[in-house]
Structure 1
Amino acid sequence: MVTLPPIIANWFAQRGWQVRDHQLAMIDAAARGRHALLTAPTGAGKTLAGFLPTLADLATTAHEGLHTLYISPLKALAVDVQRNLINPIAEMGLAITVETRTGDTPSDRKARQKVRPPQILLTTPESLAILLSAAEAATMMAGVKRVIIDEIHAFGTTKRGDQLSLCLARLQRLAPAMQRVGLSATIADPESWAGWLAPDADVTQVEIVRAQGGAAPDIDILVIDDRIPWGGHNGRWAARAVMRRIETARLAIVFVNTRAVAELVFRDLWAENDQALPIGIHHGSLAPEARRKVEAAMAAGRLRAIVATASLDLGLDWGDVDLVIQMGAPKGASRLLQRTGRANHRMDEASHCLIVPGNRFEYLEAFAARDAVAVGELDPDGFRPGALDVLAQHVIGCAAAGPFHPDALYNEVKGAAPYAGLTRDTFDAVLNYAATGGYALKAYERYQRLITMPDGRLRLRSAALARVWRMNSGTIVEAVAMNIVFGTGKPGRGGRRLGQVEEYFAGQLLVGDSFMFAGQVLEVTGFDGADVHVRLGRGNPKVPVYAGGRMPMTTRLAMRVRGLMNTPARWPEMPGDVREWLAIQARVSRLPGLDDVLVETFERDGRWYLIAYGFAGHPAHQTLGMLITQRMERAGLKPLGFVASDYAMACWSLDPIDDPRPLFDPTVLEDELAAWLAASPFLRRAFREVAIIGGLIERTQPGVVKTGKAMSVSSDLIYDVLRRHEPDHLLLAAAWTDARGKLTDIDRLAALLERAHAQLTHMRLDRVSPLAVPSLLTIGRERVGESADSALLLEAEALIAEAMRTD
C-alpha cells in the first residue's frame, strides 16, 4: 500500500485533512514509473496531487538541480501555484526551492536559473521553448524527473499545444526517464488525452486517475421581472442586479468573453457601485505590474469583485471566491464548468455561478449549458495534425541550442503526438524552408538561416539569429500594440505604463480624445513613437476593440439549444417572454428542427430578407454570408449586405429570393471558397500569422519593434511573391489550413450546407418573425449608427411589435 513520507503525512494530520484516493493513486503511479493523467473536479486538490510525488521524492532523496517542471497555460496561474506551493513546503520544513519563469521574470533571474536552477520550476510553453533553445539546456534538463502539465485541455488542440508537445519530445530525449503528468477538470475523453500526453508510451504505461465524488455545481440564470432582452450579447443590461449580487458575496469573479467587454462591464458595475466596494479588472492587455497588483489584492482579500477575461479562468485558487458571474453566454459546457469551479474551491461543497444572458438566444444557450453540466456532458476536443509553421519555428529553436542531425531531429519530432504521422518528405520540406526560406526566397541572404556541416549536421548561420529567434518565438500572434503611458501628461517625460491597445485603435485617436482602459477614462495628451501618453479624463469615452477573442458556440451546445426549442415540455421552466417568443414563432413561422435548416424570407421597408438558422457558430455563419451574397450577386438578386451571429445568418437584397435552395448547394463549396479566400483578406491575414510564427517575418529585432503597417507591407509583399512564384510554398499551405479552420470554420459550414441540402425548410412570411428580430436589430444598429439612439429605439419598438403580432 502506498504511504506518504512521515513529514508530509504529519502535515496533513496537523490540519485534520485526509489524503484523497486520487492523490495516493498519483503517488503510486509515480512509484511504478508510469505517466499519469488526472481528471478531477475543481477543489479536488489536483495541483497538490500532481506535486505530491515530487514532494515525496525530494523529502526523502537528495537531488541537485531541476527535478520537476510545471507547465501552466497562464502566467498568473504559475505565480498562484508558486504562492500555494511555497507555504506547504515551508510548513513541512522541506528545503525545496521553487521559482517561476515566464515572460515577466527579470532577465538576471533567468540567467541565473540556467546555471543554478531551482528544484521545481513553474513556467509556460513559450518560456520552456526559449529555455530549451539555450546552449545550457542539455545540462539543465538532464536530471528532470517529472513534468506536470496543468489544465492540459487548454493546450492539446491549439498551436500552443503543438509547441508544448514538441518541447516534451525534446525533454524526453534529454531526460529519458522523465515522467509526464497531465491535470484537468474538463476533458471529455481521457483516453485520447493520455495518447496526446505520452504518445510513445504503451497504453499500460499511462495511468488514468479519475477522482470520485464532489458536489454538483449550483448554476443559476439571471432573470429580472421575467424579462430577457431582444438584443446584445454581454449581459450589460443587468449591471444593477449584478452589483446587488456582488454586495452579498464575499468575493466574486465576473467573467466576460473579450477584453473590450471587460472594460465596458467594469464601467457599468462601477456606476452601480453605491457602496463603493473595491472592484478590480484583469485582462491580457494590462501591464504585468497592473495584473500582479490585482492578483495580490485579490489573494489578500482586499477586493470584493474582479472583472476578468480568460486570463483568470484556469486553475487559479482564490479560496474566498464564493460567486462566479458569467456575463453573456459561456459558449460551451466545458468553459462554464471551468469558470464555475473558480468559486468555492472545495470539492465537497457546491460552486456557485450566475449566468447573465445577453439576449433570448443566449438565454436558451445558458439553459442548455446548465443542462449539459448537470449530466456531465463536456465538449469534445478536436485533435488535428501539428501545424507546420510551429514545427519550422521549433527547428530553428533546436539549432539555437546547438547543431543537430536531421535524422535524429525527425525521430524526435515524431515523438510529439501532433506530429506522429509526419512524413519524412514533409519534414524535409519544413527543414528546407527553415534553412533557406524555400525556392522563391533562397536567393535572399536574410532567409539563409541554417548551414550544413561536414558531418551532415545543421547549425545556425550566426549567433545573432538565435537572439532574434528568442525575441520572436511563440505561437500567440497578437496584433501590433502601442503602450499606454500615464503620468507626466507629456511625451518624452517618462510615466507609468498601464498596458497596451492595438495599433489600429490607437491610430484613430487624437490628442484630447478619451477612451476606456484599465477601468478608467483616459484622455490622450500626446504620442511618442510606440507610446500613447494619457491622463485621467472624462466625458463619453471610446472603448478599445481587440482583434480575435470571440468564442463560437460549440457544436454540442448548439444541438442542445435546438433540442430545447423543440421540447415544449421544457418551456414552462423558462421566463414568460422567452416562452411567448418561442410560442409565437411556432405559430407565425416554425421553429428550427433538430435536423433541418430553417430559412425564412420576407419583405420589409422595400428590402427582401433571408434568415438562415444554422446554429453553426459565428465564424461559419460569417463565411456563409460571404458565400450566399456572392451566389446572390451571380444570380442577379442585388444583395446589399449580411450579418452573422452564433445562431443565424441574415442577408438582405433589392430583389426577392423565390427559392433559396440553390444558394445552399454544397457541391461546389471547395472551389468557390478557394477562389473567395484567395481574393479575401482572410488568407492574407492567416499568412501574416503563419509567417510570424514560422520566422519569415520578425515582430521584434534588437532595438526595433515593427509597426503594424510595416509588418503588413512585408507580409503582403512576400505573400504576392510566393503566390506568383511558389504557390505550393509551405507557409501558403499552412495559411490555407488556418484560414479554413480558425478564421472561417469551413468544416462546420460544410456540415451546415449538407444539412440544408438534405432538409431545408423554407418559410415565406409576410412579415418579420420573432426569431428574426435579433438579427434585424443588428442590421438596424449598423445602419442607424451608435449615435442615433432615439431613432434606433423607435425602429426596434416597431420591429418587435410587428414580429409579436398574433393575428
Structure 2
Amino acid sequence: MRRTKHSLSPNFGGEGQGEGAPTARSDLTAPSPRPSPPLRGGEGESLLPAQFRDWFASRGWSPRPHQLALAARAAKGESALLIAPTGGGKTLAGFLPSLIALAQLPARRPRELHTLYISPLKALAVDVARNLEAPVAEMGLAVRIETRTGDTSASRRQRQKTLPPDILLTTPEQLALLIASRDAPRLFRHLQAVVLDELHAMHNSKRGDLLALGLARLRTLAPQHRRVGLSATVADPKPLLDFLGADTALVRGGEGARPSIAILASDAHVPWSGHLARHAMADVLNAIRQAKTSLVFVNTRAQAERTFQDLWRLNDDNLAIALHHGSLAPAQRRKVESAMTRGQLRAVVCTSTLDLGIDWGAVDNVICIGAPKGAARLVQRIGRANHRLDEPSQALLVPANRFEVLECEAARDAVMAGELDGERLKQGGLDVLAQHVWGSACAEPFDAGQLYEEVRSASPYRHLSREDFDKVLDFVATGGYALKRYDRYARLRRTAEGKWRIAHPRIAQQYRMNVGVIVEDPMVDIRLQAKGRPTGAGGRVLGQLEEYFIEQLLPGDTFVFAGTVLRFEGMREDAAYVTRTQDAEAHVPSYNGGKFPLSTFLAQRVREMVSRPESWQVLPAPVNEWLRIQEWRSIIPKPGQLLVETFPRSSKHYLVCYPFEGRLAHQTLGMLLTRRLERLRMRPLGFSANEYALAVWGLRDMGGVDMDRLFDEDMLGDDLEAWLAESNLYKRTFRNCAIIAGLIERRFPGKE
C-alpha cells in the first residue's frame, strides 16, 4: 500500500409550566434568564390585560420574560426576532401581542385581516391554529382564526379574500397566491403583524426567496405592519435579522437544561460500513420499551421503510410502532399524527417530516439512527422530546458504522459545547424572481422601476443589479432572447402608460396552477387492491413513489412501502397497483434527494478527533482498534492534509482519498479524477463516494501517478466545465429552474 499526504488549502397548552399540561401541544412557553429588553418588576406583566393575567394564573403559569419582551416590542410597533430552543414558548410569544391587540377591539367590528402567520409546513399551520383556539375560547376572545393551505376548499379560499379572519395561518406558497390576487390591496390594507415560524428552516432556500419577495410586497401593501420571526437556536442570528428587515430587535429565550445525549454502546459488532444499523435493532427496540413514547429519526425514506420492517420483525411485544415520511399518503400521515396526539403509539419511525412542526408532550425519548450530519439538525431533533426547559431532553444516537461513531461523538460534543453549524448565505434565485414578477403582473399592472426597488428591499435580492432585473423581466415578458419568436411565451405586455400587465387572463390561471419552488420528480400513486381483482380495479392510495423506480419493476416484483411488503401487479394510467404479500428479499424503493449532506462544521470536528489519538480513549473498543489499525498500516491525516492510498484488490487497482468534504463534493471530485485518470491511461472503471472518502478503481496500478498534479486545483477550471457540459447535472438544474420560472408548466387548466 502506498500513501501520499497532500496539503489542502409557554407553549400552547403551557408545556414546561407545571402539571396537567395536555398531551399534544404546539410550541408556546419557556423561561428565559436573559430577557431582552430587560423588564423591571411588573413592567412586563402590566402589558397584559386582566383576562390574560387571569388565564395564566388559572393554570398556575406565569408569562415568560421573552414573551413579555415581545409584547413590549409590539406595543412600540417594533419588529423582533425571537431565538429560543424547541419547546421554548416561541409560538405563544409570537401570537400574544396580536391576541392582546384583538382583545381590545369591539366584538362587532369589520372583517379585516390583523395577523398573518406563515409556516414552512401546512400541518404545522393547522396544528397551531387548533391549539390557538383553546386560549381564545377560554378567555372568551372574539377572535376568528382560519388556515389557508393547499387542502383548503376553493370556496373557503375565495371567502377569505372578501371576509378575512382576524388571524390567518398559511404557507409561503399561499402567500404568493394571495399577493398575486387583484384583491390583495384590500385584503392586506389593515394588516398589523406577520409571524414567521421556524424561520431558520426557510430563510436560506428558494422557499425563503419566495417568502422574502412576498414580505417585500406586504411592506408595500401594508407599510404599518410589524414582523415577528420565530427561530430555534442558530449559530449566527444576523442573517435572520436581515431577512426580517431593518431595525429588527433580537430577543433571546432561555437556554434551558442541557440535553442528555447517549451514544448506543451495542453488544453487537459495529460494522465497518452500511447505513441501516441493522446490528443495533434489538437495542433500539429495547430503548423504545423503556420509554413512554419515542421518535425514531432516520435520514432517508428508504431507511425509514427498512428500519420499520426490522423493528416489526423483532417486536414480539406488539408495541404500537408507526411509520411517517413524506411519500406516504397525507391521510396516512394525519392518522399517525392523530394517534400520537391521543397517546396511542409507543414509537414513530420518521424522517425530516417531523424535524419541524407538531410537538407531542408524551414524547420522552428521541432515537437518531445514523449520523446526524449536522449539530443544528441534532439539536432540532432532540428538541422533539420532553418539552420542559427545566428538564433535559433524552436522546440516543445509533451509529450505523464505525465512521458514524466518530460523527456521533463529534456532534454530541458540539451540542454539549453549545456550538452549531453555520451556513453560507445564498443569493436570491433569478428563477424565483421570474415567478414573482409573473405573479406581480397578475395582481395589477406594475412599474418596472418601482418593482425593482421593492425587490431589492428583500434581503436575498439586496445586491440585485438593474441589468439582471431587466433581463428577468424580459424573460417573463417575451421568453427571453431564445423564445421571443413564440407567442406562447409572451406573458406580459406594456400599457400605454409604460406599465407591465399580463397578456391574457389565462396567464394568471397558469400562474395560480404552477406557483411554488418545490420541484419533484414525476410521481406515481401506489394503489392497494384486493388479491384476485383485475389490475386497475380501484384501491386506496398508500402514497406516491418516483416514476423512475416504478418503471424498473415487472409484474410480480416485490418492494417495501408504507410499512408493508407489496407485490407489483401492473400500471394503469397514472397509478401503480399492488397487493400485500410476504417476501423477505423485497426491494426498498430508492428516492431522489433523500440524503443529507454532511456539514463542513461537523466534518472539521471529525477530522480533529481522528487526528488526536488521545481522544480515541472515549471511543468504543472496536472503533479504537479500527483507528489503531489505520495508524499501523497507513497514516492518520492531520487537518490540512489529504491522505491518498493506492492498493490492488481482486484483479483491480484502487485509489482511495480522504478529503472529509462531504458526499456532494466527493461525487464531483470523483467525476473529475476519473477524467484525469483516463487521460493518464489508468483505465478507471468507476468510483464511489461517501461523506469522508472517495474510492476510484481501474485496471492499472495508480500508485505511480503524481498525486500533486492529479489533485491540482486547476481541475476546477476546464475539467469541471467540460464535465458539467457532458453531465446530466446541467440538464436537471435547467429543468428545475425552468419549472420555477414558468418556462415549463407542471399543471394545466383542466388537468391534474
Structure 1 length normalisation: TM-score?
A: 0.85
1:38 Cα deviation (Å)?
Answer: 0.7
Question: Which of 679, 686, 691 is 1:634 aligned to?
Answer: 679
Q: Is 1:551 aligned to 2:596, yes or no? A: yes
Match of 1:18 in 2: 62
Residues 297-328 of structure 1: CA deviation (Å, up to 9, x unaligned):
11111111111111111143211100111111
Q: 1:680-699 counterparts in 2 under 5 A?
A: 680-699=727-746
Match of 1:298 in 2: 340
Match of 1:739 in 2: none
Match of 2:30 in 1: none
1:511 Cα deviation (Å)?
Answer: 2.8
Change (3 A) 1:660 1:295: same
1:654 Cα deviation (Å)?
Answer: 1.8
Take 2:301 and 2:157, find their aligned partners in 1: how far apart are those partners?
30
Q: Which amino acid is 2:127 matched to?
A: D
Residues 697-730 of structure 1: CA deviation (Å, up to 9, x unaligned):
111112335xxxxxxxxxxxxxxxxxxxxxxxxx
Take 2:724 and 2:255, find their aligned partners in 1: how far apart are those partners?
49
Q: Is 1:67 aligned to 2:114, yes or no? A: yes
Match of 2:446 in 1: 404
Change (3 A) 1:109 1:235: farther
Take 2:316 and 2:505, find their aligned partners in 1: how far apart are those partners?
59
Residues 334-381 of structure 1: CA deviation (Å, up to 9, x unaligned):
000000000001111111111111111111001000000011111112
1:523 Cα deviation (Å)?
Answer: 2.3
Q: Is 1:179 aligned to 2:226, yes or no? A: yes
Match of 1:723 in 2: none
Residues 591-632 of structure 1: CA deviation (Å, up to 9, x unaligned):
121111111112223322111101100010001000011001
Residues 565-613 of structure 1: CA deviation (Å, up to 9, x unaligned):
1222221211000011111211211112111111111222332211110
Q: Secondary structure at the match of 2:87?
A: coil
Q: Secondary structure at the match of 1:701?
A: coil
Change (3 A) 1:384 1:216: same
Question: Which of 35, 40, 57 is 2:101 aligned to?
Answer: 57
Q: Secondary structure at the match of 2:485?
A: coil
CA contact (8 A) 2:672 2:715 kept: no
Residues 89-144 of structure 1: CA deviation (Å, up to 9, x unaligned):
22222121222212222323222222222211111111211222222122111111
CA contact (8 A) 2:268 2:280 kept: no
Match of 2:138 in 1: 91
1:295 Cα deviation (Å)?
Answer: 1.0
Higher percent of residues as helix: 1
Match of 2:631 in 1: 586
Take 1:415 and 1:34, find their aligned partners in 2: how far apart are those partners?
18
Match of 1:331 in 2: 373
Match of 1:570 in 2: 615
1:272 Cα deviation (Å)?
Answer: 1.4
Moved more, 127-136 or 321-330: 127-136
1:84 Cα deviation (Å)?
Answer: 2.0
Q: Which amino acid is 2:318 matched to?
A: A
Take 1:501 and 1:472, find their aligned partners in 2: how far apart are those partners?
21
Match of 2:665 in 1: 620
CA contact (8 A) 1:227 1:575 kept: no
Q: 1:414-563 counterparts in 2 under 5 A?
A: 414-487=456-529, 489-491=533-535, 493-539=537-583, 540-563=585-608
CA contact (8 A) 2:288 2:346 kept: yes
Take 2:586 and 2:191, find their aligned partners in 1: how far apart are those partners?
52
CA contact (8 A) 1:385 1:418 kept: yes
Take 2:423 and 2:156, find their aligned partners in 1: how far apart are those partners?
37
Match of 2:278 in 1: 236
Question: Which of 630, 646, 650 is 2:691 aligned to?
Answer: 646
1:491 Cα deviation (Å)?
Answer: 5.0
Q: Which amino acid is 2:182 matched to?
A: A
Q: Is 1:384 aligned to 2:429, yes or no? A: no
CA contact (8 A) 1:148 1:181 kept: yes
Take 2:429 and 2:101, find their aligned partners in 1: how far apart are those partners?
37
Q: Secondary structure at the match of 2:623?
A: helix
Take 1:371 and 1:139, find their aligned partners in 2: how far apart are those partners?
52
Moved more, 379-388 or 325-334: 379-388
CA contact (8 A) 1:279 1:305 kept: yes
Q: Is 1:109 aligned to 2:156, yes or no? A: yes
Take 1:531 and 1:213, find their aligned partners in 2: how far apart are those partners?
49
Structure 2 length normalisation: TM-score?
A: 0.91
Take 1:72 and 1:230, find their aligned partners in 2: how far apart are those partners?
41
Point out where structure 2 has 5 or more consecutive residues left out of the alignment.
1-42
CA contact (8 A) 2:684 2:697 kept: yes
Take 1:462 and 1:534, find their aligned partners in 2: how far apart are those partners?
44
Take 1:108 and 1:306, find their aligned partners in 2: how far apart are those partners?
35
Q: Which amino acid is 1:193 matched to?
A: L
Change (3 A) 1:702 1:332: same
Residues 430-469 of structure 1: CA deviation (Å, up to 9, x unaligned):
0000011111111111111111111111111111121122
CA contact (8 A) 2:264 2:397 kept: yes
Match of 2:51 in 1: 7
CA contact (8 A) 1:226 1:575 kept: no
Question: Which of 644, 656, 661 is 2:701 aligned to?
Answer: 656
Q: Is 1:170 aligned to 2:217, yes or no? A: yes
Q: Is 1:354 aligned to 2:396, yes or no? A: yes
Residues 679-712 of structure 1: CA deviation (Å, up to 9, x unaligned):
111111111110111111111112335xxxxxxx
Q: Which amino acid is 2:102 matched to?
A: L
Take 1:80 and 1:273, find their aligned partners in 2: how far apart are those partners?
31
Match of 1:32 in 2: 76
Q: Which amino acid is 2:310 matched to?
A: D
CA contact (8 A) 1:315 1:342 kept: no
Moved more, 693-702 or 221-230: 221-230
Question: Which of 176, 179, 193 is 1:132 aligned to?
Answer: 179
Take 1:537 and 1:521, find their aligned partners in 2: how far apart are those partners?
6
Change (3 A) 1:668 1:613: closer
Moved more, 331-340 or 214-223: 214-223
Take 2:552 and 2:750, find their aligned partners in 1: how far apart are those partners?
26
Q: Is 1:601 aligned to 2:643, yes or no? A: no
Take 1:421 and 1:630, find their aligned partners in 2: how far apart are those partners?
37
1:182 Cα deviation (Å)?
Answer: 0.9
Change (3 A) 1:650 1:534: same
Take 2:640 and 2:452, find their aligned partners in 1: how far apart are those partners?
45
1:668 Cα deviation (Å)?
Answer: 4.2
CA contact (8 A) 2:215 2:458 kept: yes
Q: 1:146-157 counterparts in 2 under 5 A?
A: 146-157=193-204
Residues 731-770 of structure 1: CA deviation (Å, up to 9, x unaligned):
xxxxxxxxxxxxxxxxxxxxxxxxxxxxxxxxxxxxxxxx
Question: Which of 280, 284, 306 is 2:322 aligned to?
Answer: 280
Q: Is 1:610 aligned to 2:652, yes or no? A: no
Take 1:123 and 1:573, find their aligned partners in 2: how far apart are those partners?
47
1:172 Cα deviation (Å)?
Answer: 1.1
Take 2:541 and 2:552, find their aligned partners in 1: how far apart are those partners?
20
Q: Secondary structure at the match of 1:510?
A: coil
Match of 1:759 in 2: none
Tell me the number of residue pairs that the alignment of Structure 1 and Structure 2 aligns: 700
Q: Secondary structure at the match of 2:519?
A: coil
Match of 2:207 in 1: 160
CA contact (8 A) 2:232 2:380 kept: yes
Moved more, 144-153 or 532-541: 532-541
CA contact (8 A) 1:395 1:431 kept: yes
Q: Which amino acid is 1:329 matched to?
A: A
Q: Secondary structure at the match of 1:579?
A: helix
